Structures are given as structure tokens and as C-alpha cells.
Amino acid sequence: MPGYNPSAIEKKWQQYWNEKKVYATNVKDTAKPKYYVLDMFPYPSGQGLHVGHPEGYTATDIIARYKRAKGFNVMHPMGWDAFGLPAEQYAIKEQKHPSVFTQNNIDRFRKQLQSLGFSYDWDREVDTTDPGYYKWTQWIFLKLYDTWFDEQQQKGRPISELVEEFEKGNSEFRIQNSELGLAEAIRWRDLNATQQRKVLAGYRLAYEAEVPVNWCQGLGTVLANEEVIDGKSEVGHFPVERRPMRQWMLRITAYAQRLIGGLDQLQWSDSLKEMQRNWIGRSEGAEVQFKVDGTSETITVFTTRPDTLFGATYMVLAPEHPMVPGITTPDQLAKVEAYRKWAASRSDRERQEDTKKTGEFTGTYAINPVNEQRIPIWVSDYVLMGYGTGAIMAVPAHDERDYEFATKFKLSIVQVVGKKQEASSKKQEVNVQKEAFCEEGMAVNSPWIEGLPTAEAKAKITAMLEEKGIGKRQINYKIRDWLFSRQRYWGEPFPIVHLEDGTTVRLADSELPLRLPELEDFKPTGTIDPPLSKAAEWVNVHVVVSADNSARVVPPGTPGAVKARRELNTMPQWAGSCWYYIRYLDPRNENAFVDPAVEKYWLGNSEFRIQNSELNSGGVDLYVGGVEHAVLHLLYSRFWHKVLFDRGLVTCDEPFRRLVNQGLILGEDSQKMSKSRGNVVNPDDVVRDYGADSLRMFEMFMGPLEQVKPWSTAGVEGVYRFLQRVWRNLFDENDALKIVVAPQDEAIRRALHKLIKKVGDDIERLSFNTAIAAMMEFNNVLGKAPSVSREVALTLIRIMEPYAPHFAEEVYARIQSSEFRIQNSTVVSVSHLPWPEYDPAMLIDATIEVPVQVNGKLRGRITIPNGADEATALAAALADAEVQKHLAGKEPKKKIYVKGRMVNLVV
């Protein structure tokens, strides 16, 4: 059957591209500017590909193909984030090893992706479950383990440098460890090895801690804060409870300021940056010390409104605050203890759902340091131990929560902020007895800062507190350290062993990868013991520990060997995806996680800057993926990257320079696609019925990439018809090429040059839908032409290639073979043609049509020479019959000519 037939051509070209490695990247071709375009790492689920996947993947593929044609060295890889719960749970159910299931899924996913004609360099494929990959995940973990954060320099430094600082006895680096109760004057060399390890453990970016964690019984593991939504697990929606457990943590809080600051230079959407800022939650304020009346103790509170200090009429401690038992009076003790028990029994969920104020009076008073007033100290669970100091000064006049509490427990409310007086406006009443006034304004009833606007009042009172030694400026963050261990089998094992003295040491690099033990039964144990506890032989080892605290596993009886137990937890799924974009650059390197020269070219931010670009081109140039990773992957990954940067292992400080979130594709009924609604579209079916090129084109034609939009089968047919129409403009009813060698008429050549410019500009700004519209428009014009020249045909398919690569390749091959035989040895591909240049002169028409308005309303059109001056244009406008009619003989009092745009006459 003649005509455009995708099923007959697509497989053929996919195979050709694969065999000839048409899209392989030469990483060392550093003479060219680089462009790194990345898709978010897919989890190869058993469900296979969803129509949402090709949306982002087609967008990046268009960019990749376009940039190659523009002379860039393009990195466009794909791989698998393959560790994780679904495969493990399925494997348990099916009594198979998860690796088998994972490999099957990967094969299916790869096949599906290849059926869409993406120009990935498949030789760079990575798989997080491959020991050749996770060796380096473990290696990076050890870099975190071997790094401490220097607050002064705001930078991660090698732990060996901390040891040097300790050895020097530098007073700025006091040896601290609460467990050991070390004295001020302690010298590093006086500590034994165990003590030294315990001290260092308190500084490492990867550390173990006994903390209240999110335990999810349903998943049999703990979860990070970011993985818990409304008290339930993000995966599977199982209930999550607070439970103290010893777990591995990553000190992401140390990087809070850098993670916020780094956002400014990124080309990300405002909403995404805002989500990260909110999650990190920076608050500027002050810490203030309150004396406890009748004792020598002080309570430190954190406030963002130090200007309201004069309005603090009581104080609240979190129920878990360590000072509560000590300060509670004997007659209140029973009540306070009962309250503490009750509060402890409440889950996070209950707390979130029920925000009614509860609490008890401790019987004790504090002294407000600014006015010496005695204020009662209460205990209430509306103050959280995990934020600030776990204690607040309550200012009910200017804080809604405090107001609610004060009203309920009949505590006094004193106004210390009023509305700003503005000369013209009437003074509006603020009645803090009726309602808290939480806005900024002007300090009142506050001797030190009377009459000052809020911002100034904050600054002044903070300075005064610092001067008097009763407070200081303080910045707090909401973000908590990242809980990094999981009680599951299918993840990276920690390259860590536990010694009998209760300390941990790392494995030496030469011990990596630490492979997962083969287990018959890798089900969760039903307790907090991870499945790896079942691998007794693997767990119990003998090691030799070197001076730098790294261990090598040795046979028992080796001189110097000591007993050790391996860490039983595994890493969370996020570990592998934190750095995959680096591994793609050098995926088979066995000696380094990436070759430094390769890293510098592809990610470095100084030497290979794109010419004439104001933007710093370091990192991945374009990253496309779903918004669901806003505070998970994207935060974790930035954190790891900054640590690697600090340690000199990568040369740019942000991994993803420009990031775009593709919008969700809804079902044809504008509802979320779901099996239960029966509105799920399977890409395989679309490819079968219309071909990959139509699927690709339609997904781009639906609307702006970032927007949520519904699927439309009629719309797919629309772009399919478009491809057929292009085909028919080039081939006759017997598929004989009908293009001619004679030059094309000028009107069409002009339209073509405009199209070249339009499509290029639109791709640059990711406006793929308008580029397709322009191609359609051009093709409509072409269809009316008596013939199509070879030059026009080649240019058109070159422009279409990023969108419809199989189509373009087929047409190109037919044009080629009609003219000369293709040598078998050379790889011929339309993708090797450079992007066409447009001739600026061809964009300018000799005459232009300009609308003429009278009093702002469109009344006529004039045709004038392009570039005509104002006088010419106005004369033409005034001479126009329609315009004359509306002027009704009146002389315009104002004549406006916007060059080449329009004329407006005002009468």
C-alpha cells in the first residue's frame, strides 16, 4: 500500500540507528560546545510505559536532536533507577529473586522506549542495581561519611582535616561529644581510638543516631520525612508512627543555607523553587534567654518577632522539653506528668488533625528579660521539640496560636504592635483582645523600640539583646536531617562495619562493591531487624582497621584482625538517583566514579561556557521530569552534589541548571488516568495504530510542555493526517518521489526561511506546539504549490526530524537513493545534516499590510513598502477609503504610527 505507513518504516530505522550507533556521544570531542539534556531517571515498573513518560522524553529528544544539528556535542542518556520496593514486594509474592523481576522490567522498558525512536546513546545505560554502579554509590556514601561541615567556611571538608585541627589544639575546633563528657582541656592524642571514633562520628555527614523516626509497619521500614504525607507513607499510603530507633542519617541540615542560596541562580519554575524554600524553611529571628524565677536556670526561646518581646505574657515548653520535670512545682507535677504522657501517646497524625489547644501550668514563672515581669511557664504540645529550642515566648496579642491558647487558659494579652500611622488614612483600631494582630506595623508599649516600624524594631531589639548578653540573632530551618537507612533487602548495602567497642568504621575503597548477599528469604522480618540479619555468614566478619579508620575484611586469625558485624540496613531508593547524571558521562569506568576531565567538560562551569551566553552553563543544561520529585530527589541530589563539589570531585556547585516539569496528561475525560476509570492510554496501542512519530508529535502538539492537559485520540489523528499530507506533497500516489530540481518560487522560499527561524526559536524556548503549528501552516501552503523543490523538501524534513525522526529518515533515504546509491560502509542519516540556516533577507517582505485604527478601533488596512517612514504610512492611512469614512471629514488630532505594526488616528 503506497502512502505514509509508519508500521513499515519505524522498526527498520530503529534497528539501523541502534546498529550503526547513530546517536553515540563522543565524550572527548571537546572542541564542540557541550549540551547535556537529561530525563528523570525512570523506575522500571512492571506496568510498563505510560503516556506520561513520552511527553518529557520527546521534549528532551527534540532538544537533543536539534542541538546536535546545531553543532553541539550532546549527552542524552537513559538508565534505570531499579532498586526499590515494588520489585522487592513482587519478588516476595512470587518467591523469586528481585533481580530477575527487575531485569525483565528493564528489558520491557528499554524495548518500549526504543519503539519511540528516542536518540539515546544506549551504550551509556546505567542500572542502579548493578554492582558496577552501586560500587560508586557506596563510594560516594563513604565520601559523605568522611566529610564534616565547617560552619565558618560553610563547606564540607575531609574528616582528616578535622583530625588535624584537633591535633593542633585549635580553640575554634573544640572536641565535643556529650556521650563522653569530655573536659574543655582534653587533648586529641590523649583519647584512645574508640573515643576518637566516637568524637568523629558526631561530625560526619553520614552518622548514626537514636532519633524518633517514621516507622511504617506496612512497608516494614522507616521512611524519610519527605516520604511521609499526612501521616501516611507516600508509597502505598500505610500509616506511619513515631518510634525511637537507631538509624543512619545524612546531615543535609548543614547545607540548608547553601541549598536555599543556590536556588537563585537556577532556571527552575518559581513554584518549584518555592517548594524547596518552604521545605527547607528558613526563618530569621533571635534566641532570647529567660531566667527561671527563683532558680539559676535559663530557658532559651526562638522567635521571629523579637520586636514583640514586651508583649510576651507567658512561656510554653514542648512536652518533651528536658527542663520540664526540673522546673515543675510539686503541686503541679502530677498534672504535668499526666499531660506529658498523653501528649507522647498522640501520633503526628492526631496532632495534625486536632489543633485545639491543650496544656498544663508548670507552677513556675520566668522573668521577661526586657521588663522583669514574671510570666507563667506552661507545657503544651503546640510547641514542637523538633524546631527551634522547643520553647517559645508567647505573645498572644500578635500570634494566632498564642492568642487561642491565652484565650482558652485566660492568660493576659498585651498589645505591643499597632498599625502604622499614615498621615492621610484614618487610624484603624487594633483590638488584640478580640483578635490577634499578626501583621507588621509599629512598636507600641515597648520602651526600647517605641514607635519603630517592625523591621527596625526587630533589628534594634536584637542588637540590644546581644549587647546585654541575653540573646542573639539566630536563623532556624525546618528541614531535618535525612533519614537514610531502610529495613529492606533490595537496596545498596552500607559499606560499614560495627566493631565490638560500639563504634563503626568504613570499609576500605578496595572492598567495594559490597555486594548484597544472596538470600533465599529476603522478606521483612516483621520486626525492626532488617532482612540482611538473616545472612549470618555475610554479617559476621573479621576486619583489620587501619589508622584512617577504614577496614578490610580478612580471614579469622589474621594478625590484628578483630570481630565485626556488617551494617544490616540498606540505602533508600534515592541513593542511586542522587548521582546517576554523573555516571552517565563515564558509565563503565572501573577506576573512578567519573573521569575528572570528562566531568569537567560536561559539568564544569568555567572552561566550557557556551559562547555569548550570560548563563553559567555548568551542570546538566536541561533536565525534564515530573514535579513529584520537588522535595525528594531534587533536594537530595543537590545536597550530594554540593558535598561532591566541596570535596573537589565535581566542578560545578549545582547539578541541574535548567529544569522543566512536564505537565500531567489526563485521560480523554479530563480526569486523572487510572485503571478504575478505564481511561488509561497505552503508548504501545498508539504506536500500533498511528506510529511513534504521530505519538511524539501529538504529545508535543497538545499544548505547553509544563501544562496539565487531556489526551485526545482525535488529536493524534490530526497530526497523523499532517504527516500523511507532507508525504503526499513529496510522493505521488505510487510513492514515486515527485520533487523537482528546479528552484522553488519565491513566496514558498520566503515562507521556508521564516519557518526555519520560527522552529529554531520555538525549540529554544521549548514551545514545541507552536513549532508544529508553523510546520503545518507551511505544509498547507506547500500543498497549493505546483511542485516542491528538492531544496525545500530536504529543509522541511531536516526541520521535522527532531519531532518525527522515522518519517524524516525514510524520506531522506528515498531522496538519497533516487539520486545515487548509498555506500554500505558509510552511515547515512538525516540527523547528520546540519540545522538549516535562514537568510535574514528572506524574512523581510517587500510590502507589508498594516492595520489602521480610528480611535483605537480597527477600520482599515493599508499596504505599504516595508520600512516605509511615518509620513508615508500616515499618508496611506489617511488616503484609505474606509478610514476616510470613519474620520468623517475631521482632522485627526493625534496620529500614531508604530513602525511596521499599526496606525492609530485619534479624532
Beta bridge partners of 684: none
| Residue whose CB is less far from RNA, 373 or 713 | 713
Residue 47 in the binding site for RNA (CB under 7 A): no
Residues from 801 through 860 that contact RNA (CB under 7 A): 849, 851, 853, 855-858
Please report, for residues 143, 154, 262, the alpha-carbon distance to residue 205 in angstroms, rounded to integers and kept in the order given: 9, 13, 19
In the complex, the smallest distance separating the C-beta of residue 300 from RNA, rounded to whole angstroms, is 11
| Residue whose CB is less far from RNA, 244 or 856 | 856
Q: CA-to-CA distance for 527 and 582, rounded, in angstroms?
A: 37
| Residue whose CB is less far from RNA, 161 or 439 | 439
| Residue whose CB is less far from RNA, 390 or 495 | 390
| Residue whose CB is less far from RNA, 42 or 285 | 285
In the complex, the smallest distance separating the C-beta of residue 767 from RNA, rounded to whole angstroms, is 6
Which amino acid type is present at position 776?
A: M
In the complex, the smallest distance separating the C-beta of residue 24 from RNA, rounded to whole angstroms, is 33
| Residue whose CB is less far from RNA, 592 or 708 | 708
In the complex, the smallest distance separating the C-beta of residue 46 from RNA, rounded to whole angstroms, is 25
| Residue whose CB is less far from RNA, 363 or 718 | 718
Residue 597 in the binding site for RNA (CB under 7 A): no
Of positions 170, 412, 707, 818, contacts RNA by CB under 7 A: 707
| Residue whose CB is less far from RNA, 141 or 339 | 339
| Residue whose CB is less far from RNA, 84 or 285 | 285
Residue window 258-277: x/- pattern of binding to RNA, with contact defined by CB under 7 A: -----------xxx--xx--
Question: What is the bridge-based pairing of β-strands 550-554 and 504-507?
Answer: parallel
- Cell 501529538 sits at which residue? 698
Q: At what angle do helices 713-730 and 805-819 cross, to 10 degrees?
A: 10
Of positions 28, 243, 885, 890, contacts RNA by CB under 7 A: 885
Of positions 42, 44, 84, 285, contacts RNA by CB under 7 A: 285
C-alpha cell at 734: 505510487
| Residue whose CB is less far from RNA, 259 or 507 | 259
The conformation of residue 108, written as its DSSP 8-state character, comes to H
By the 8 A CB rule, do 728 and 788 touch?
no
Of positions 318, 411, 417, 808, contacts RNA by CB under 7 A: 318
C-alpha 767, offset from chain centre? 22
Residue 257 in the binding site for RNA (CB under 7 A): no
In the complex, the smallest distance separating the C-beta of residue 906 from RNA, rounded to whole angstroms, is 5
In the complex, the smallest distance separating the C-beta of residue 725 from RNA, rounded to whole angstroms, is 5
3-state SS string over 339-355?
A: HHHHHHHCCHHHHHHCC
- Applying CB under 7 A, the site for RNA has a residue count of 90
| Residue whose CB is less far from RNA, 141 or 215 | 215
**Cis peptide bond N-terminal to 513, omega within 30:** yes
Residues from 771 through 800 that contact RNA (CB under 7 A): 772-773, 776-777, 780, 783-784
Which amino acid type is present at position 173?
A: F
In the complex, the smallest distance separating the C-beta of residue 717 from RNA, rounded to whole angstroms, is 6
| Residue whose CB is less far from RNA, 27 or 392 | 392
In the complex, the smallest distance separating the C-beta of residue 416 from RNA, rounded to whole angstroms, is 13
In the complex, the smallest distance separating the C-beta of residue 722 from RNA, rounded to whole angstroms, is 6
With b for 16 or more beta-carbon neighbours within 10 A and e for fewer, the 824-843 pattern comes to: eeeebbbbebebbebeeebe
Q: Which stretches of 396-439 are DSSP H helices?
A: 400-409
- Cell 522546673 sits at which residue? 327
Residues from 19 through 38 that contact RNA (CB under 7 A): none
| SS3 category, 855 | coil
In the complex, the smallest distance separating the C-beta of residue 716 from RNA, rounded to whole angstroms, is 9
In the complex, the smallest distance separating the C-beta of residue 768 from RNA, rounded to whole angstroms, is 10
In the complex, the smallest distance separating the C-beta of residue 122 from RNA, rounded to whole angstroms, is 32
Residues from 737 through 776 that contact RNA (CB under 7 A): 758, 761-762, 765, 767, 769-770, 772-773, 776
For the beta sheet containing 622-625, the strands, ordered from the edge strand earlier in sequence to the opposite edge, are 73-75, 34-39, 622-625, 659-661
3-state SS string over 404-471?
A: HHHHHHCCCCCCCEECCCCCCCCCCCCCCCCCCCCCCCEECCCHHHCCCEHHHHHHHHHHHHHHHCCE
| Residue whose CB is less far from RNA, 227 or 654 | 227
Note the maximum CA span of the chain: 113
Residues from 319 through 358 that contact RNA (CB under 7 A): 351-352, 354-357
Backbone phi, psi, residue 63, to 5°: -60, -45
Q: CA-to-CA distance for 821 and 492, rounded, in angstroms?
A: 53
Of positions 721, 738, 749, 790, contacts RNA by CB under 7 A: 721
For the beta sheet containing 221-223, the strands, ordered from the edge strand earlier in sequence to the opposite edge, are 221-223, 206-216, 241-250, 482-483
In the complex, the smallest distance separating the C-beta of residue 566 from RNA, rounded to whole angstroms, is 35
Segment near RNA (CB under 7 A); pick from 77-85, 299-307, 590-598, 868-876: 299-307
Backbone phi, psi, residue 138, to 5°: -65, -40
In the complex, the smallest distance separating the C-beta of residue 137 from RNA, rounded to whole angstroms, is 26
Which amino acid type is present at position 880?
A: D
Q: CA-to-CA distance for 679 and 670, rounded, in angstroms?
A: 9
Residue 388 in the binding site for RNA (CB under 7 A): yes
| Residue whose CB is less far from RNA, 244 or 783 | 783
In the complex, the smallest distance separating the C-beta of residue 233 from RNA, rounded to whole angstroms, is 14
CB burial of residue 351 (10 Å; 0-12, 13-18, 19+): middle
Residue 736 in the binding site for RNA (CB under 7 A): no
Segment near RNA (CB under 7 A); pick from 10-18, 21-29, 154-162, 719-727: 719-727
Residues from 456 through 485 that contact RNA (CB under 7 A): 476, 478
- Cell 538473616 sits at which residue? 534
Which residues fall within 8 angstroms of residue 208, CB to CB, at 6 or more apart? 201, 246, 247, 248, 249, 504
Residues from 663 through 682 that contact RNA (CB under 7 A): none
Of positions 32, 419, 725, 790, contacts RNA by CB under 7 A: 725
Q: How many CA atoms lie within 13 A of 183 on its CB side?
A: 5
Residues from 205 through 244 that contact RNA (CB under 7 A): 229
Residue 662 in the binding site for RNA (CB under 7 A): no
Q: Which stretches of 787-896 are DSSP H helices?
A: 790-800, 805-819, 870-879, 881-887
Q: In sequence order, what E strands does 546-585 have?
A: 550-554, 562-566
Residues from 389 through 418 that contact RNA (CB under 7 A): 390, 392, 399, 401, 404
Backbone phi, psi, residue 562, to 5°: -125, 160
The closest alpha carbon to 97, from 568, 531, 495, belongs to 531
In the complex, the smallest distance separating the C-beta of residue 785 from RNA, rounded to whole angstroms, is 12
- Cα first-last separation, the chain: 65
Segment near RNA (CB under 7 A); pick from 93-101, 302-310, 546-554, 833-841: 302-310
By the 8 A CB rule, do 22 and 833 touch?
no
| SS3 category, 384 | coil
Which amino acid type is present at position 98?
A: P
| SS3 category, 21 | coil
Residue 629 in the binding site for RNA (CB under 7 A): no
| SS3 category, 417 | strand
| Residue whose CB is less far from RNA, 225 or 533 | 225
Segment near RNA (CB under 7 A); pick from 330-338, 386-394, 649-657, 787-795: 386-394
Residue 718 in the binding site for RNA (CB under 7 A): yes
Residue 701 in the binding site for RNA (CB under 7 A): yes
Q: CA-to-CA distance for 496 and 45, rounded, in angstroms?
A: 30
In the complex, the smallest distance separating the C-beta of residue 367 from RNA, rounded to whole angstroms, is 19
Residue window 887-906: x/- pattern of binding to RNA, with contact defined by CB under 7 A: -------x-x-x--xx-x-x
